[in-house]
Structure 1
Amino acid sequence: MNPSDFFRSTDTYRAVGVRRQDRARRVRALTGSILAAGLIAAIPVGQAGPVGTAAAQGHELLGAPDGPMSQWRNPSVREDDAASGIEIRLDTPLENIDLGTKQLVNLTIENRSEQVVDNLSLRFQRADAVEDTAAARLSLTDHQSTYGYTGPFTDVAGPLRPGDSVTVALPLDTAPGSPDGLGIGAPGVYPVMINLNGRTGEGIIRYLTSERFLLAVTDRTTGSLHTRTSQENPAAEVPGITMLWPLTAPTGLVAGETGEAPMSAPLLLENDDLAAQLQEGGRLDRLLDIYLEATDGESGSALREATCLAVDPQLIEVVDRMRAGYTVATERLSPVSDTPRLRDSWRADSAAPRAEQPGGGAVAADAWLARLRTAAGQGCTVALPWAGTDINAVSRTGNQWLVREALSRGTSIIADVLDTEPERNLVIPLSGYVTESTAAWLPLADTTGPADTVNPESAWELLQQQGLPTVHHPADTAALEDPAMPEPYPRAAFPAPATGVRVLVTDNSVWGAPARGRFTGLGPGVTGVSYEGSLAATLAATGPEPLTVGYSNPETRHDPNLDSERARLTTGNSAVRLAVDAARQSVPVDDQGTAAPEPVIIVPPAAPAAPAASAELLGTVARLLETGQARPLTLHEATTPDAATETTLSRSAGPADPNRRMDRFGPPFPDPSAPSDDEVLAATQQSNYMNDLTQLMVNDPGIALTRYAFMRPLMLDLLRGLTVIGRRNAEEYAASTAHADHIFTLNREMLEKLQSSVALLPPGYVYTRVSQSSPLLIVARNGLPLPVDGRISYLGPPGSVVHVPDQLWIPAKGSIMTQMTADLPNEPDKVTLVLRLSGSQGSVVSDPVEITVQTQGPLIGLLGRLIVGLLVLALILRLIQTKIMRRIRGARNTETHSG
C-alpha cells in the first residue's frame, strides 16, 4: 500500500477525558494505525511517508471545538443582555474624569431585534469602587441589581423599529452630593452600567439591556486615584511600570516552502493583505507611527524606557524578503526532480511558480522595515515565539527541533534584520502560561551559550557527529497500544542554561511553584516572571476583535461584544490605572524591611490590534509616568531576579524531572483556544518524518545548501499551524483552525513529494536466476538537492538472506544502479522480496519495492539437466577423441620404426 493511501485511510483522532462514543471509535482506529506504523518500522521493511491531517483524509476539520460553548462564555452571565437584540454603543471617550465634574455622554441605541421597541429610557448606575482588577472583572458580570447607585432616567424618542438607531446625550455627574449624581464621594475605579428600559410589542416597560465599563474617577489636583485611602502608605515607593508593544500580523506565506541556497527561495504569499497593512495608513504602518511619535525625543524618553517592542520574528523575516519582490500565488511547485537526469537540476525555469500576480508591497516593506529598525535601535526589542506559536502545544510534539525553532530563532532574526541586540533568554508564551512538561524544554530557549548548543542547525549536526538520534521514536509497542497519546517528555532533562531563561506567565498560573515576589522557580535555570492575569484578560477584550484568554476565570467569561468597543477600551484604560494604584497600596516588605511595590507588567494581547485602541492604551501609560504615579522600568529590570532570589528559587525547584506529572503550574482554567490533540498529533508525525528525511541527506562542501536549511521552512510551517493568534476569539476559532488544517495539508503534500523523490525503482519484471550466485540489480533515485546516504533493508520468506551493500551513496538529483546477491529457498518456485531505502539510523524513508525472483521450476530443472547432459556428453566425446588420437599417433610411430 502506498504510504499516502495508508495514512489517508486512518482516522487521526484520539480521546481526552470524556468524549463522545463516536470519538472513541476514532481512537481505536488511530491506535491501530499507529500500532501498525510502529510495527512496520520495527521490521526490516514497511511503509513510510509523512502523515496528513484529518481534513486531508476526508474527515472533519482539525481543531473543531470539542468543549461546550460554556468554556468560551458563561451562559448565566448577562442573560438578558444577550437575548435582547438591542445594542448600546458608547461614543464619547471617558478618560481623565475628575471627581466633581459633569458632562454629556453620547450614546447610540440600535434595534437589532425583530420587534418594535418604544418607551425607551436610559440612566447611569454604578456599583461600589473596586480594589483590584480581579474584583473589577467580576463586578462587570454581576446582576444589574448590584449597581445600586443610580442617576435620573433620560427619555429616548421612539419608537425604534427593527434596524433603526438613535443617538442620545446622557448626563454623567460625578459631583459628591449632587442629587442627579451617582453618589461618588472619592476618587477610584467604579463599575458603571448604562441601563436601558423599554417596551417590546404589547409587553410592559422593563429592563432591556445594558452597556458596562470601568470608570476611573481621579483627583482633580493630583490626577491620581486611590481606592483604599485608609491603607494608603504615603512613604511607599512609586511602582515601576513596563509595557510590551506587540507587532504581529498574519503573513499569508504559502505553506510547503523548502530552503534554497545561496539565494533564498522565491517568496510566495497567498494574498497581498500584508502589503496593505505596511502601506501608509495601514494597520502596521499606524502602529509603528504611534510608537515612534509617543517615544520620540526628550518628552518620550520615559515612555521609551518603559516599553519594549515585542515582534513576531516570522513577520520580520517575511517583510525583509518582500523588499526583493514576491509573488501572490496559491500553490508551490515541487523543489525535487521529476527525473534523475543531472542536466535538469537547478534550472531556474523548473522552479518558477505558477504565479497569479506579482506582489505590490516591496517599496512599502522596505520603508516600514527601515522605520522599525530605527525604533528598535532606540529602545528595547524582544522576540515573540515564531509565528505566535503555542509553545505548550509545540513541546507536546516531543520534537526538540520544533521547540528550538519556536524559541531561539527569533532572536537571531531580530539581530540580523533589525541590526540591534534584542532581549535574550526571555520567553513570552502567548497563551499566558506554561505547563510543567513545557518547562522541562525551556532551557532550549537559551541563546547565550556556545553556538553548537544554542543554534538549532549546529546542535543538529553535533548530534549527528556523536551518532545520537535526533528524534526519539518509541522503543516498544506497549506505548503504542495506549489508546491515549501520552504527554511527551524529553528522555533526559536538558542541562540548565548558563544564563537563566525567564518566562512571562500570569500570576494565576503558577500556584504551586516556589515563589519569591513576582518570581517563581519553574525548574533549574528557568524562572517564571508573573504579571497580573486579570489585567491582561481585561486588555485582551479591547479592540474590534475581543479575545477570550485561557487563563481568565470562567465565571467572568461572557460575550465581550455585549459592550461596545469604546466601552471595552474605557475598561482597559481604567484597569491599567487600577493595577498601578493597587500595586502602590499593597506594598510588600522585603528582607531589609523596605517597602518595595511589585512592578506592573502590561502584556497586551499579541493579536492584530487596532491602532486607535493601542494608541489610547499607550497614552494612559504615558500619563501615569508624566504625573508621577508610576516610574519607568525596563523590561530587563522587571524580568530579571537578583542573585539572592535566583539562588533561592533554584534550590527550591530541585533537580529537573521531565517525567514528573504534578500540577504545580499551568493553565488555571480550561483553555478552549488551545490547539487540539489532532493538530498536535499531525505536527508530531510530520516533524518526526522531517527529521528522518533530514538525517537521510548528507551535506556536500560543493553545495551551498545544507540539509537542515533545506527542511527548516517546513518545520516553521508546523509552528504556524499551532499558532495562538486567531484562536482566542469564539467567532474566529473555526476559521483559524481551518487555516491551520490547510497549512498541515500543504505541508504533508510537500513531504510526500520529497519522500517519493528518494526511491528504489522496481525492475518491472521477474528475475530468473540460473544459479544462486546470479546478482539482483536495482536502481536507486534521489531527487533531493543533496546527496543521500541510504541503507537497503529487506523482508522475505523464512530462509531468505540478501547480501545488500553496506552503504548506498546516491548523488544529489541523480541515480545509481546497485547489485545484490541472495540466498533464497528453493521452495516455492517464486520468491517475493520487499526492499526499502532507509537512513543510517534505521529511519524509514522510501516506499517499499517488491522484486519477484524465479528460483526453480520445470524449465529451470530441464535446463539444468540438459546442461549436465551436454557436459557429460562433451566429456565422453573428449575421452573418445583422446583415445582415437592416441591410437593414430601410436600407429604412426609403428610405421616410422618399421621404415
Structure 2
Amino acid sequence: MIHPRGRSVWAVLVVLLLVLAPAALPPRAAAEPETQFLRVELSRVTPELVDTASDPTVTVEASIVNVGDRPVNDVVARLERAQPLAATTGLRTTLTEVATTGYEPVGPFLDIPGPLQPGERASVRFDYPLRSVGAESLGIDHPGVYPLLVNVNGTPDFGSPARLADTRFLLPVLGAPSASGDPESFAGPDDATGPDVVIVPDTTRPVRLTMLWPLADRPRLAPGLPGGATPIRLIDDELATELSPGGRLDALLSTVEFATAAESDPDGDLTGALCLAVDPDLLVTVNAMTGGYLVPANPDGTGDLRPGTGEAAAVAWLDRLRKLADRMCVTALPYAQTDLDAVQRVGDDQLSAFATTGAEDLVDQLLGVTSLRGLTVFGDGPLTPDALALLNHNGTAVAIAPASATAESTPDLGRRRVSDQVAVAPFDPSVAATLGALGDQPVTPGYLDTSLVPDRPESSAAARRQDAVGAVLWQSLHPDAEPRDQILAPPPNWGVSPDDATAVLRALSTLLGSGLATPLPLPNLIAETATLPGPPTPVDEFPTAARFDDSVIGAISDQSARLRGLTEALGTNAQTGLTGQAYTAPLREDMLRALSQSQPLDDRNGRAHRALQSVGGTIADLFGAVQIINPGGSYTLATERSPLPLAFRNDLAVPIRVRLLVDGPPGMTVGDVGELELPPGFLPVKVPIEVHFTQRFAVDVAVQTPGGLPLGEPVRLSLHSNAYGKVLFFVTLVAGATLALLTGRRLWHRFRGRPDRADLEPPEADHLHWPHRTPEEPGGKP
C-alpha cells in the first residue's frame, strides 16, 4: 500500500516527465504523417558536377510547396548527406521511401518564414563548402557519388511537429578542389591530405565508354492502311511538336549535333563514344509526314480528319539527321521497339526478319548510310530464351541487353557467349533506368526489377538530372569496379529535355577529358564481343509480367499467315510501280507496332487488341476486294461447248494471281484455265465448258489465291443449255443421210430421162380446192 504522500510524489514526477519529454526528444524528429502537407522540389545544384576546378562551395536551392488543405507553421529545413554509393543499385534504392537512414546533418535547420498557407511556395538555399576544417561542411574529400537530402519539418494546424517532406538527389564528385580555392598541391584520392590540397581522381584504370543515343518514338501511324494510300494518317499530331524547335526529338538531335561538332569535340572522343540508335518506324513516319498527312480533329483521336501541322518540321528534322548520320555511327533499333520475345512466339519468319535485319535496311534506305550489322539492341526489354531463339535464326552476332539485378544483388556486366551464334554485351539496368527517369515523362524500363523502382515519383526534374549525371559517372569513379567497359543505353523512347540532354553529354565530355574514360566505338565493341569463346551460358532470368497475352500473339499469328498468303499472290502494278510486297508491308508493320514496348505497360495488351482489330478488318477487305460479278439473270448456252462468260472485279491497287473453282452438276465438264492474273479494275474471262444435257441448272463459281485462300464471295450462276448431246448428233446424221439419198435418186432419174416421182404433178383434186391452171399458164399440163 502506497502512502498518500508517496502518491503525490509520483504524481509530480509523472507531470514533470510529460512536460520535459518533448524537450528531450530530437527537435522536429517525429515520424512523417501519412497525409502529405508539403512537397520539396529541388531547383538547382551548383556545381551539378564537382571537379578539381569547381568552386569549393556547393549551393543547393529548393522550393517548399504547401500541397495540403491547411497552413503549416514553424517550417524548417536542413541539408543532409550520406556515404558515397558503393554499388549502382544505390542509384535506385536511395530514392525509395524507406531509405532515410544513413543521412547525417550537414548543418542546422534553417527557418522558413511562415506560416505556409495552402498552395503557397517558399524558397530555401544552402551554401556549404565541400571541405572545411569547421563542422559545417559537406565533408567530402574523396571522389564518388554522394546522396544528399533536403529534410523539411513543420507543424500543420491541428497537428504536431513532424517531418513533412524531403527530396533526395546525387552529387557526383570527380575531384575535390582546395577548400580555400588556392591549391597548395595535388594528391591522389588515397593520400592523407589537408583541406587545401586538391584531390584528383584515379585515372590509372579508365573505363572504355560506349553510349547509344536513342532517336525513337511510340508508334504514330494509324493502323490498317495498306501501301499506296495517300495522304497518310497519324493517330495524333504530337510528333509535330516533338520535331519542332524545343521539342523532345529536336532536343535529342540538337544537343548531339552541337556536342559532336568539330568546335566542341576537336579530338573526336565524344563522337567516337556515341552511336545513334534509330527506330526505323520513326523514320518511316517522319518521311511520310514530309508529303503531308491527316490527323483527327480532336485530341482523343475522334472527329473529322484535318491536315497535320508538322510537315515543315519533319522535312527540316530529317534533313538534319541525314547530315549527322553521315559523320556518326548509326545502328537500328528493332522496328517500332517491338518485343522480340513476342515476335518469336508469333512464329512468323517474315515478321522476325523484318523486325531485325529488315530494320537495318530501312535505316540505310531512309538515311542514305550503311548502319551497323550483326547487332540487336534490347532497349526496353530483356534478352529471353525466346528472343535468343529469334536471334539465332536471323544470324545476329551480338546482343546489347540489360543485365539482371535486384536491390540485393549487383549485376554481372561481363560480356559472354549465350549461344553458338550470339554473344551478349550487358548494360547496367540501374544506370539505364536512372537515365530513363529524365524529362517531364519519366520512363521505367520493363526489364527493371520491382525492388529497383522507387516509390517517390514526385522528385523534381533537377533532382532526376543530378541522379542521371551521377549514374553516368559512377563506374569511372570506382577503379576497382569490373569490368572496365561501360555501355550507356537509355530507354529508346527517352523523354529528355534540352537541359537534360546537355547535362548528360557534358558529363560524358568531362569523363573523356579528365582521363577517367576513353571512347569505345560501337563497331569495336561488336567485333570484340562477336569473337568471344564459348561455351555458352544461360541467359539471365527476368520477370515476365510485361509479356504480351497469348490472345495478342494468336491474333497476330492468324493475321500474318493470311497476309503472307495474299502477298504471295500479288504482282506489280506496271503503271505505278507498286509491288505486292510494298502494298501489304504497312500491315505487317502494324503488327510489329502492336507489339511495341513503348506503350504503357498497364494498357499494352488493350492497345494491341485495338490496333489488331483495324489490321484484321483491312486484311478482310483486301480478300474481299477480288470479286466475281454476278449478272443477276441467267445464261443460255447455244451449244454443248459454249464457253462460260465471267467478269472479275479487282479493287486492289496491284494485280493478283488467282485460280477458279467451278462446281457444276454431273454431265458438265470444265476446262482448266490455269492461273489468271487479274489487273486492277475489270477483266472478262471465258471459261471452256462442255454440257451433255438440255435443261436449266446452277453453277457455283469461286476464286482463290494459288495457295488456296478464298477471295471474295462465291457466286451461283443460273444456266440454260440447248444442247442435245448424242441424240441430236445421230438425228442430224440420219437426216443428212436421208437427204443425200433422195437427192441422188432424183438426179439418177433425170440422167436416165425418166421423171422422178417427186417431179410429177399431184392428181387433180377439186375436192381439195387445188388451183387449176390452163395449158397456157405456167405450170399447166401440155
TM over 0.5: yes
1:777 offset after TM fit, Å? 5.5
Q: Which runs of 5+ in 1 are unaligned?
A: 1-78, 332-353, 444-492, 588-596, 654-663
Question: 1 CA distance for matches of 2:251 and 2:458?
Answer: 28
SS of the counterpart of 2:60? strand
Q: CA RMSD in A?
A: 4.7
What's the counterpart of residue 292 of structure 2? 326
Give runs of aligned pairs for residues 143-158 of structure 1, distance below 5 A.
143-151=98-106, 152-158=108-114
SS at match of 1:289: helix
Secondary structure at the residue paired with 1:91? strand
| Percent identical | 27
Partners of 1:519 and 1:314 in 2: CA distance:
29
Does the C-alpha gap of structure 1 residues 892 and 821 become closer, same or farther in structure 2, counting only changes over 3 Å?
closer
Partner of 1:19: none
Report how far residue 696 of structure 1 moved. 1.8
Structure 2 CA distance for aligned equivalents of residues 824 and 407 of structure 1: 59
Cα distance, 1:621 vs structure 2? 0.9
| Separation (CA, whole Å) in 2 of partners of 1:629 and 1:699 | 57
Letter in 2 for 1:570: Q
8 Å CA contact 1:550, 1:667 repeated in 2: no
Query: Is 1:276 equivalent to 2:250 in the alignment?
Result: no
* Alignment match, 2:568: 695
Relative to 1, partners in 2 of residues 1:760 and 1:180: Cα closer, same or farther, differing over 3 Å? same
Q: Within 5 A, what are the aligned runs for 1:73-472?
A: 84=36, 86-93=38-45, 95-97=48-50, 101-141=56-96, 143-151=98-106, 152-172=108-128, 174-175=130-131, 178-181=134-137, 184=140, 186-221=142-177, 236-250=204-218, 252-260=220-228, 266-297=231-262, 299-300=264-265, 301-323=268-290, 325-330=291-296, 358-442=307-391
Alpha-carbon shift at residue 296 of structure 1 (Å): 1.7
How far, CA to CA, are the matches of 2:364 and 2:33 in structure 1? 50
Query: Is residue 2:575 matched to residue 1:712?
Result: no
What secondary structure, in the 3-state scheme, does the structure 2 residue paired with 1:625 have? helix
User: Once the two structures are superposed, what CA deviation does each residue of 1:614-657 show, in whole Å capped at 9, x if it has no partner?
Assistant: 111111111111111111221122333267x43x23x537xxxx
Answer yes or no: is 1:759 the counterpart of 2:725: no
Q: Could you say what secondary structure the match of 2:711 adopts?
A: coil
* Residue 605 in structure 1 maps to residue 478 in structure 2: no
Q: Distance in 2 between matches of 1:154 and 1:371?
A: 50
- CA separation of 1:598/1:183 partners in 2, compared to 1, >3 Å: closer, same or farther? closer
Farther-moved stretch of structure 1 (615-624 vs 386-395): 386-395
Deviation at 1:723, TM superposition (A): 2.0
> Which letter does structure 2 place at the counterpart of 1:623?
T
What does 1:762-773 correspond to in 2, within 5 Å?
A: 762=630, 764=632
| 1:205 to 1:835, Cα distance in 2 relative to 1, 3 A | farther
SS of the equivalent of 2:206 reads: coil
Aligned to 2:583, the other structure's residue is in SS state helix
Which residue is 1:565 aligned to? 461
User: What does residue 300 of structure 2 align with?
Assistant: none
Aligned partner of residue 92 in structure 1, secondary structure: strand
Contact kept? 1:312, 1:388, Cα under 8 Å: yes
Task: Kindly provide the CA deviation profile for residues 247-292 of structure 1, in whole angstroms up to 9, marking residues without a partner as x.
Answer: 22357434344334xxx95444455443333333433333322112
1:170-205 CA distance string (max 9 Å, x none): 455643664344665643223333222233342222
Q: Answer whether contact 2:244 2:250 (CA < 8 A) is retained.
A: yes
Alpha-carbon distance between aligned partners in 2 of 1:187 and 1:235, rounded to the nearest angstrom: 12
- Structure 2 Cα separation of the partners of residues 789 and 550 of structure 1: 44
Residue number in structure 1 paired with 2:675:
807
Aligned residue identity for 2:510: R
Give the C-alpha shift of residue 804 in structure 1.
6.0
Q: Could you tell me how far apart the structure 2 residues matched to 1:377 and 1:98 are? A: 34
Measured in 2, the distance between the counterparts of 1:317 and 1:403 equals 18
Please report how far the alpha carbon of residue 362 of structure 1 lies from its aligned counterpart in structure 2 after TM superposition. Answer: 4.3
1:118/1:895 Cα in 2 relative to 1: closer, same or farther (>3 Å)?
Answer: closer
Q: What does residue 183 of structure 2 align with?
A: none
**1: CA distance, partners of 2:698 / 2:379:** 54
- Asked which structure has the greater CA Rg, the reply is 2
Distance 1:524 1:799 in 2: 63
Correspondence 1:505 to 2:398: no
Equivalence for 2:19:
none
> Residues of 2 paired with 1:399 and 1:174: CA distance?
59
For residues 241 and 135 of structure 1, the distance between their equivalents in structure 2, rounded to whole angstroms, comes to 21
Change (3 A) 1:211 1:817: same
Q: Tell me the SS of whatever aligns to 1:692.
A: helix
For residue 785 of structure 1, the aligned residue among 636, 643, 653 is 653
How big is the shift at 1:742?
Answer: 5.3
Deviation at 1:849, TM superposition (A): 1.7
> Which residue pairs with 2:451 in the alignment?
555
* Distance change >3 Å, CA 203–CA 895, structure 1 → 2: closer
Name the CA shift for 1:202/1:797 in 2 (closer, same or farther; >3 Å). Answer: farther
Give the secondary structure class of the aligned counterpart of 1:817: strand
User: Structure 2 CA distance, aligned partners of 1:895 and 1:391?
Assistant: 97
CA drift of 1:550 comes to 1.9
Structure with the larger helix share: 1
Q: Distance in 2 between matches of 1:629 and 1:392?
A: 37
Mapping of 1:505-584 within 5 angstroms? 505-508=401-404, 518-582=414-478, 584=479
Rounded Cα–Cα distance in structure 2 between residues aligned with 1:203 and 1:569? 35
Query: Displacement of 1:784 after TM fit?
Result: 2.0
> What is the SS of the residue equivalent to 2:440?
coil
User: Aligned with 1:601: secondary structure?
Assistant: strand
1:441 match: secondary structure: helix
- What SS does the corresponding residue of 2:125 show, helix, strand or coil? strand
Distance apart, 1:570 and its partner CA: 0.9
Bigger proportion of residues as strand: 2
Residues 225 and 774 of structure 1: CA distance in aligned 2, closer, same or farther (over 3 Å): farther
Report the AA paired with residue 292 of structure 2: Y
Deviation, structure 1 residue 766: 7.4
CA contact (8 A) 1:188 1:225 kept: no
Q: Structure 1 residue 789: deviation in Å?
A: 1.5
- The one-character-per-residue Cα deviations of 1:370-412 (angstroms, maximum 9, x if unpaired) are 3323322222122222233233333332222222222223433
1:586 to 454, 478, 481: 481
Distance in 2 of aligned mates of 1:386 and 1:559: 32
Following the alignment from structure 1 to structure 2, what is the Cα–Cα distance between the partners of residues 233 and 278? 40
Q: CA deviation at 1:833?
A: 7.2
Q: Is the 8 A contact 2:413 2:427 kept in 1?
A: no
The secondary structure found in structure 1 opposite 2:45 is coil
Q: Decide whether the 8 Å contact of 1:551 with 1:671 is kept in 2.
A: no
Extract unaligned runs of 5+ from structure 2.
1-30, 179-185, 193-199, 298-302, 760-782
Instruction: Find the counterpart in structure 2 of residue 851 from structure 1.
Output: 716
Distance 1:438 1:816, change over 3 A: farther
**Number of the residue aligned with 1:593:** none
What letter corresponds to residue 840 of structure 1 in structure 2?
A: P
Match of 1:473 in 2: none
Match of 2:281, SS state, is helix
In the TM superposition, residue 538 of structure 1 has moved relative to its aligned partner by 1.7
Q: Which amino acid aligns with 1:578?
A: W
Higher RCO (CA-CA < 8 Å; seq separation 6+): 1
Shift, 1:225, TM fit: 10
CA distance in 1, matches of 2:36, 2:234: 43
Match of 1:471 in 2: none
Rounded to whole Å, the distance in 2 between the matches of 1:832 and 1:686 is 34
Alpha-carbon distance in 2 for matches of 1:895, 1:779: 55
Distance 1:418 1:703 in 2: 24
Cα distance in 2 for partners of 1:563, 1:713 equals 41
Letter in 1 for 2:542: P
User: What is the CA-CA distance between 1:144 and the residue it aligns to?
Assistant: 4.6
Counterpart CA distance in 2 for 1:134 and 1:798 is 79
CA distance in 2, matches of 1:825, 1:559: 84
Cα distance between partner residues in 2 of 1:540 and 1:831: 72
Q: Find the counterpart in structure 2 of residue 841 from structure 1.
A: 707
User: Out of 627, 638, 646, which is 2:514 matched to?
Assistant: 627
Please state how far the C-alpha of 1:133 moved relative to its aligned partner: 0.8
Number of residue pairs the alignment of both structures matches? 690
